[in-house]
Chain A
Amino acid sequence: MPQTAAIEVKDLRFRWRTGLPEVLRITSLEVARGERIFIRGASGSGKSTLLALLAGVNLPTGGDVEILGETVNRLSSAGRDHFRSDHIGFIFQLFNLIPYLSVMDNVTLPCRFSRLRKEKATASGNSLQAEAMRLLAHLDMADEALIHRPVVELSVGQQQRVATARALIGAPEIIIADEPTSALDSEMRQVFLHLLFQECEETGSTLLFVSHDRQLEHLFERHIALDEINRLEQVV
């Protein structure tokens, strides 16, 4: 069986409600497995909308979203939630963590919802906690004192690294990072990206990195400007 693409989008259209104008029309977008791709878009360019469609949180008005060979928009609502928790890890811009959970609980959170990722995380014979510690160690976050601190007391950089460990646990095939570096200073940004790339390479994950920051573009194998592939007749 030939290896399917990580992401394949065909004739994707989206409008929030019938009667409202289309906000997204993408004829084709293909991302290969293991690829690191940079999607540039100013705020309001439909970035979040695209991510919600890829994640199966919203359904396209037309066209198909295929992730790992699965046509996500044809799945049931529960099926999409399940598919997302099994195969996609998310890192957001800010405040990624659940404030009342410990660092450890935050990292292992996806395994509460996805048996597949729990199995993958413990496949090496490690306990879930040991796997979380391994990921945190890779991200320079293995300090015992840090781990036991309430997550709201961590610095933004530390929080983003915890969020990264959470996205990576159980090795999901796709990592979607939505402006994860915008709250970091430029030095931290480099360190963070370096760690992120390293981890994605190790797990073989496809990285979809969304940002408006052109300075980071050159670090990626491929970059796409959202307003170039978004072929709306009228720009909204």
Chain B
Amino acid sequence: MAILSLALKSLLNRRFTASLVLLSIALSVALLLGVERLRVESRNSFANTISGTDLVVGARSGAINLLLYSVFRIGDATNNISWKSYKKFSEHSLVKWTIPISLGDSHRGYRVMGTNRDYFRFYKYANKRSLSFHQGRPFEEVYQAVLGHEVAGELDYRMGQEIVIAHGAGKTSFTLHDDKPFKVVGILEPTGTPVDRTVHVPLEGIEAIHVDWVAGRQVRGLNISADEALEKDLTPKAITAFLVGLKSKIATFRVQREINDYRKEPLLAVLPGVALQQLWDLISVAENALLIITLLVVAVGLIGILTVMLASLNERRREMAILRSVGARPGHILLLVTGEGLLLSLIGIAAGLLLLYAGLFLAQTYIETHYGLHLPIGLPSLREWLILVLVGTSALIVGLIPGYRAYRYSLADGMSIRI
């Protein structure tokens, strides 16, 4: 179209201002899409962490809290549950499998989780994928450990290496269970879930390192060596939580009610999906705030376009008059000015997309290793396209403002040239 090629040439003539405005649009669009993608992918990542588990059971607290500490290793349990209760429900007729989880210790900032071999058989993530071994095999003896992929990678641990577990969950713990080291017998494949950042040991191992401990402290003079500990009964007295897989999904609510109504101990059973939904509801407030901020950034970019175009309008009245004299209709003038704004925005949006992909490409590895979040470099999602269309439409509306003013000018001025 003739008039749009004029618009493009006019923009090229003012390439410095135009490119600044373009940059602001590109940055704001990249920011908006980046936040959106981060939001979607972190949700996906959370949702992918647990799959195929029907119930998560822990001491009675809140559903979100239980889910966070048992599955995502965020925060701490308020209370433990007794081994007896765990035993009772693990032998329930409707229960197919259970995975006990015992938390509370750490290794150089990574959480240590006590569990049993069922974990490697039944735990599923993403779309019902099982854990698989990069090297080695599940633990068989008390003082053996299986590392998540990131733990092994970051700390450069190899098979057969001995590691010492620290008491408590902090990154720098002063109390070490250094009398009872664990030997690495397996390293898991990466999963993109908190499993990658977990050190797995047998429940008996957790029990063994605490045999000479009472109430969170090592008892003076009561030093029981690693070998001596093996002689003792290492059946745990308590665990932190357990995951349940049922024989039939239909029984989910029945078993949940049974656990919640258990009289001998206050327990809480939650459906992971429901708890996750509650978590989203909680997080969505912050997400929406972030979304509003990025939308405002885009609005600021668009206002930048508006300012630049309105400011140049007065000095362009001569140009309008010349165009009118060669036969341009006022509608052409409207199209010229609005077209310029629209072109700027469209190029800005395209540049924003480019920026987003460049950013993703550069930051992908960093984000994955540091935050365990995999950001796939795929085509924009439907929602992202909708956002782009929305930005484009707003740009059109913004461009119509100076366009309409130019239209009015050209009607009033006609061919008379005003300086």
Q: Which of A58, A92, A113 contacts B332 (CB 8 A)?
A: A113
User: Is A101 an interface residue when CB atoms closer than 8 A count as contact?
Assistant: yes
Closest CB in chain B relative to A24 CB, distance in Å? 14
Whether A85 contacts B319 in the complex (CB less than 8 A), given A95-B417, A101-B9, comes out as: no
Q: Which of B65-73, B135-143, B173-181, B320-328 makes up part of the contact surface?
A: B320-328
Closest CB in chain A relative to B361 CB, distance in Å? 36
Q: Which of A48, A90, A99 contacts B326 (CB 8 A)?
A: A90
Closest CB in chain A relative to B412 CB, distance in Å? 11
| Residues of the A chain whose Cβ atoms lie less than 8 Å from the Cβ of B284 | none
Main secondary structure of the interface of A (DSSP, over half): helix
Q: Which of A65-73, A76-84, A195-203, A221-229 makes up part of the contact surface?
A: A76-84
Q: Is the CB of B328 within 8 A of A81?
A: yes
Whether A85 contacts B415 in the complex (CB less than 8 A), given A97-B322, A100-B13, A113-B332, comes out as: no
Q: Is the CB of A84 within 8 A of B327?
A: yes
| Residues of the A chain whose Cβ atoms lie less than 8 Å from the Cβ of B278 | none
For the complex, what is the distance from the CA of A109 to the CA of B325, rounded to whole Å?
11
Closest CB in chain A relative to B315 CB, distance in Å? 10
For the complex, what is the distance from the CA of A110 to the CA of B2, rounded to whole Å?
11
Candidate in B6, B12, B325, B416 with the most chain A CB atoms within 10 angstroms: B325
Q: Which of B13, B319, B323, B327 contacts A114 (CB 8 A)?
A: B327
User: Is A57 an interface residue when CB atoms closer than 8 A count as contact?
Assistant: yes
| Residues of the A chain whose Cβ atoms lie less than 8 Å from the Cβ of B52 | none
For the complex, what is the distance from the CA of A92 to the CA of B318, rounded to whole Å?
11
| Residues of the A chain whose Cβ atoms lie less than 8 Å from the Cβ of B331 | 78
Closest CB in chain A relative to B408 CB, distance in Å? 14
B419 (CB) vs chain A CBs: closest residue: A95
Whether A52 contacts B328 in the complex (CB less than 8 A), given A100-B10, A101-B9, comes out as: no
User: Is B170 an interface residue when CB atoms closer than 8 A count as contact?
Assistant: no
Q: Which of A58, A82, A96 contacts B327 (CB 8 A)?
A: A82
For the complex, what is the distance from the CA of A166 to the CA of B3, rounded to whole Å?
17
Candidate in B2, B13, B14, B415 with the most chain A CB atoms within 10 angstroms: B415
For the complex, what is the distance from the CA of A84 to the CA of B330, rounded to whole Å?
13
| Residues of the A chain whose Cβ atoms lie less than 8 Å from the Cβ of B329 | 77-78, 81-82
User: Is B414 an interface residue when CB atoms closer than 8 A count as contact?
Assistant: yes
For the complex, what is the distance from the CA of A100 to the CA of B5, rounded to whole Å?
12
Whether A110 contacts B414 in the complex (CB less than 8 A), given A95-B318, A98-B319, comes out as: no
Give per-residue flags for A165-199: 1 if the beta carbon is below 8 A from chain B beta carbons, else 0.
01000000000000000000000000000000000
For the complex, what is the distance from the CA of A112 to the CA of B324, rounded to whole Å?
12
Q: Which of B12, B13, B332, B415 contacts A90 (CB 8 A)?
A: B415
| Residues of the B chain whose Cβ atoms lie less than 8 Å from the Cβ of A58 | 414
Candidate in A82, A96, A109 with the most chain B CB atoms within 10 angstroms: A109
| Residues of the B chain whose Cβ atoms lie less than 8 Å from the Cβ of A166 | 326
| Residues of the A chain whose Cβ atoms lie less than 8 Å from the Cβ of B414 | 52, 55, 57-58
| Residues of the B chain whose Cβ atoms lie less than 8 Å from the Cβ of A82 | 327, 329
User: Is A86 an interface residue when CB atoms closer than 8 A count as contact?
Assistant: yes
25 A-B residue pairs with CB within 8 Å? A51-B415, A55-B325, A57-B324, A57-B414, A77-B329, A82-B327, A92-B322, A92-B325, A92-B417, A93-B417, A95-B318, A98-B6, A98-B322, A99-B319, A100-B10, A100-B12, A100-B13, A105-B9, A109-B323, A109-B326, A110-B327, A112-B3, A112-B6, A113-B328, A166-B326
